[in-house]
A and B are shown apart, each in its own frame.
Chain A
Amino acid sequence: MSTRYVGARIPRNEDPRLLQGHGLFVDDVRLPGMAHMALLRSPHAHARIRRIDTDRARDAPGVLAVYTHADLGALGNPLPKLIPHPSLVHHKTQYALAPDTVRYAGEPVACVVAESRYAAEDAVDLITVDYEPLPVAATLEQAIAPQAPLVHEDIGTNIAARYAQRVGDVEQAFAAAPHRFRERLVIDRGASCPMETRGVVASWDARAGRLDVWDSTQAPIPIRNGLAAMFGLPQQNVRVVAPDVGGGFGPKIMMFYPEEILVPLAAMRLGRPVKWIEDRRENMVATNQEREQIHDAEIAVDADGRILGVRTVFLYDAGAYIPYGLIVPIVASTTLPGPYRIPNYHCEFTAVFTNKTTVSPYRGAGRPHGVFVMERLLDRVARELRVDRTEVRRRNLIQPDQFPYDVGLIYQDNAPLRYDSGNYPACLDRALEIIQYAEWPARQGTSRSQGRYLGLGVACYVEGTGIGPYEGCRITVEPSGKVFVATGVGTQGQGHMTSFAQIAADALGVAPRDVAVYTGDTGLFNWGTGTFASRAATVAGNAVGLAAQAVREKARVVAAKLLEAPAEEIELEGGRVFVRGVPARSLSLGEVALAANPLRFAMPPEWEGPGLEAIRYFTPSQGTFSNGVHACVVEVDPETGMLTILRYVVVHDCGRVINPTILEGQIHGGVAQGLGGVFWEKLAYDAQAQPLSTTFMDYLIPTSAEVPPFEIDHVETPSPLNPLGVKGAGEAGVIPVAAAVAQAVEDALAPFDVRIAEMPLSPNRLRQLIAEVRRTT
């Protein structure tokens, strides 16, 4: 079987449609009689709701309905718990509308359905709510202090969970170690800012008993199953479509957002389709956020800088509710060891409720934190022991002959954290070659003599990807010869319509442009869990591969009968099916598909059913582990604190690459988001947990002017755990960025002896750090 398309940089199937404005996003869904929803959201971070007066709103022109919690019945109960964990003692989840207490600024309190969004917003203005403000747990430290205001009064604490993982005996290791270093590292909150905000359209056909929902989600199948359960409908009668989705990045995997309940509810009660599109300001408060952690970390090393033990205790901000459980801190805990041999490890976290927006994974999902901690600890070792920073890493890297490498922890999929393959030293070497590390001291010296402060940073990481439980795929060849691939994951910009087509095309001997890929529609494929955790290419991709192989084998069996030759001698290429060596005697793939579906007479039992069609599932037993090294050169202006990223290098190993252009796009996007979290993006709050940066004027996502051209190279160590040999790449770009830039900034400001132990930075903060050192010296 050829691998002509997998590995090739072919242009994307989805681009002509998208670039000509023919995409279908949720806001493009327009149904006859469609009404519009707007929400009233709490301005207080913590308050009791004494009274809601909706009379004036109900009477406003164009208003069809106004709902508060009292109108929801059973749907007013806390929404489902997604990922339970034995340590998650207080698995508090959110409400469709706040019952008697609001717990974060932006929490929905009431909703209006009207003829237009304009009219709905006019009516929202007419709702009056009598709030009794309550004391606010505005920060992590406030929330765990004694006598802290309680986010959930009934549990008597703000601590949702405590969990620890350990390897070996860290106490003993630290006690015996010649060197021990400690760092306190703080990472602050950020938002995912997808170009397309969230949105839901629902349409209810009372006669057929059918609910159709369009939802900008990463998990249409679980949404479908959940809605069916909550509304008491057969799953078959509910269809959820995640059409074109303009960016997911993690927060769109969360369910259920209040609007995902309210919109179908309104559609069913009013007998009219209802649409809600989130505006940007709502997105900045009502779509889940992430990134806030405080680590107290320590490393123990021998005289050569070899790691004897690592220990971290950290606080994780869960926000007001914790529907998604402990995934982010568990991922942080299990990513921290990275590509290094760590014989003794202890990682403990406390998940804390605060009066802020709910937290769930955002690209990286805790991996950036693990890497930031580990890399900053190693940088400290390098500095204290006066060992070159790349040398100290090299001394601790897991070697290519040590795979599979058991880290000794349990990963987020509840399977052992066992690295399957990789060549960590090769990635490091390649990155250092591209960034010209050997020439760096001279280059930095020259720039300093010109009064410029340049710095270089390097960071290494391992990323767990491709976790289960499973994904599936159905492939069907139609008599036209066109191939249809349907799978249960969704697509939010990953290029699945192309990468999955490449996999199928190789197996079936057709061109990728003749393969139509459908994702995210429960009406077309209704088993699967969603697009998250860098798993779609690995898990769904392999399901595509298995299904394509099965269809290929079926085509050979059917063609064998038609071409009167043994199946083993049948080839598929160029859309045709022929006997090896006798291309003149051939059929088109479409003709074989037609023949596989006889209208009369007997069908051979070995066909096991009609049609060139197969459904297959891929169920990984554990994740597969990508890795990479980032290196960057930055310049800092110490007078103004301004930072310029001059060069950014990524050397990345995600096993077998399906489409290098798509992979690079993923990396570009991830690095840009990582850079955002380094110098620009910070969710600001006042002392009452009021969000202060709810527009792009103040929440600063980097533009193309802030981000340099990326230099990307690949290493390929295929995964032995799946037939395609692929590993995940969706989150890779973001993971080590903070670590690499922190090291680079310290390197640039070495003459000022500034230490970077927090993210994000800003010009103001860099000036402060410089001034603080001056004051104390």
Chain B
Amino acid sequence: MKLEGTNTLPASVNTVWKTINDPEALRRCTPGLKELKEVAPDTYEARLEIGVAAVKGAYTGRLAITDKRPPTHYIITLEGSGGPGFMKGQGTVDLEREGDATLVRWVGDIQIGGLIAGVGQRMIGGIGKMLIGQFFKCLEQTLGGAAPAGGGGPRAGGDAAGSGEVG
């Protein structure tokens, strides 16, 4: 499943770059990420509990940052497997200065397999976009800015207001 979008973050390119490489920020903002343990430079063992409402699964796997071209480009990969199946998300991230803010362009490829894919196809696309939206919202908050009205978030129907029981 391919997704793409843009988000504007209220900080300079360098600040945003630092934040999206910071394991603390990643752990806090990646939906469902419970534990992140560095095992090599830019490589982490990850433990996730991810899902929506009652439908949750526990996954173990890794998070890796590759193709680093500071301060504007990298590829971030998060993959995990567990009872409900496996998931692999890979995002190519590019940062661009936009005045005092930073425009983040991302292109993502999400693969889901196993039991959850065979049952959840109806909602997985939408939920994937929603979770990515949450990631960026958290980053915005981390960077101390007020959430910009509208924002160029991932294209999705409806409005993901409130935090609900996700993650």
A interface residues (Cβ-Cβ under 8 A, vs B): 43-45, 105, 125, 131, 281, 284-285, 684, 686, 688, 690-695, 697-698
Q: CA A688 – CA B88 in complex, angstroms?
A: 12
Question: Are B119 and A695 in contact (CB-based, < 8 A)?
Answer: yes
User: Who on chain B is nearest to A284 by CB?
Assistant: B118
User: Who on chain A is nearest to B114 by CB?
Assistant: A43
User: Who on chain A is nearest to B112 by CB?
Assistant: A690
Question: Are A690 and B119 in contact (CB-based, < 8 A)?
Answer: no
Question: Are B86 and A44 in contact (CB-based, < 8 A)?
Answer: yes
Q: CA A693 – CA B121 in complex, angstroms?
A: 8
Hey, which chain B residues are within 8 Å of A695, CB to CB?
118-119
Q: How far is the CB of A481 from chain B (nearest CB, A)?
A: 55
Q: How far is the CB of B159 from chain A (nearest CB, A)?
A: 26
Question: Are A691 and B118 in contact (CB-based, < 8 A)?
Answer: yes
Question: Are B118 and A125 in contact (CB-based, < 8 A)?
Answer: no
- Given contact pairs A43-B81, A43-B85, A43-B113, enumerate 11 new A-B contacts (beta carbons under 8 Å): A43-B114, A43-B117, A131-B81, A281-B115, A285-B118, A688-B113, A692-B121, A694-B118, A695-B118, A695-B119, A698-B122
Hey, which chain B residues are within 8 Å of A690, CB to CB?
111-114, 117-118
Q: Which of A45, A284, A688 is the most central at the interface, judged by chain B CB atoms within 10 Å of its CB?
A: A688
Interface residues of B, CB < 8 Å — how many? 15
**Interface status of B83 (Cβ within 8 A of chain A):** yes
Hey, which chain B residues are within 8 Å of A43, CB to CB?
81, 85-86, 113-115, 117
Q: CA A568 – CA B61 in complex, angstroms?
A: 84
Q: CA A686 – CA B2 in complex, angstroms?
A: 12
Closest 4 CB pairs of A and B: A43-B114, A694-B118, A692-B121, A43-B113
Q: How far is the CB of A285 from chain B (nearest CB, A)?
A: 7
Interface residues of B: mostly helix, strand, loop or mixed? mixed
Q: Which of B81, B83, B115, B117 contacts A686 (CB 8 A)?
A: B117
Q: Which of B83, B112, B121 contacts A125 (CB 8 A)?
A: B83
Q: How far is the CB of A52 from chain B (nearest CB, A)?
A: 13
A-B contact count (CB 8 A): 49
List 18 interface pairs A-B (beta carbons < 8 Å), by A numbering. Answer: A43-B85, A43-B86, A43-B113, A43-B114, A125-B83, A281-B115, A690-B112, A690-B113, A690-B114, A690-B117, A690-B118, A691-B117, A692-B117, A692-B118, A694-B119, A695-B119, A697-B122, A698-B119
Q: CA A43 – CA B118 in complex, angstroms?
A: 10
Interface string of B89-121 (1 = CB under 8 A from A): 000000000000000000000011111011101
Hey, which chain B residues are within 8 Å of A105, CB to CB?
113-114
Hey, which chain A residues are within 8 Å of B81, CB to CB?
43, 131
Given the known interface contacts A43-B86, A125-B83, the answer about A684 and B121 at a Cβ–Cβ threshold of 8 Å is yes
Hey, which chain A residues are within 8 Å of B111, CB to CB?
686, 688, 690
Hey, which chain B residues are within 8 Å of A697, CB to CB?
119, 122
Q: CA A45 – CA B114 in complex, angstroms?
A: 9
Hey, which chain B residues are within 8 Å of A693, CB to CB?
118, 121
Hey, which chain A residues are within 8 Å of B113, CB to CB?
43-45, 105, 688, 690
Q: Which of B111, B112, B113, B118 is the most central at the interface, judged by chain A CB atoms within 10 Å of its CB?
A: B118
User: Who on chain A is nearest to B60 by CB?
Assistant: A128
Hey, which chain B residues are within 8 Å of A686, CB to CB?
1, 111, 117
Hey, which chain A residues are within 8 Å of B118, CB to CB?
281, 284-285, 690-695
Hey, which chain B residues are within 8 Å of A125, CB to CB?
83
Q: CA A688 – CA B86 in complex, angstroms?
A: 12
Hey, which chain B residues are within 8 Å of A684, CB to CB?
121
Q: How far is the CB of B21 from chain A (nearest CB, A)?
A: 27
Hey, which chain A residues are within 8 Å of B114, CB to CB?
43, 105, 690
Q: CA A749 – CA B117 in complex, angstroms?
A: 35
Q: CA A44 – CA B86 in complex, angstroms?
A: 9
Q: CA A697 – CA B115 in complex, angstroms?
A: 14
User: Who on chain A is nearest to B120 by CB?
Assistant: A692
Question: Are A698 and B85 in contact (CB-based, < 8 A)?
Answer: no
User: Who on chain B is nearest to A285 by CB?
Assistant: B118
Interface string of B19-38 (1 = CB under 8 A from A): 00000000000000000000
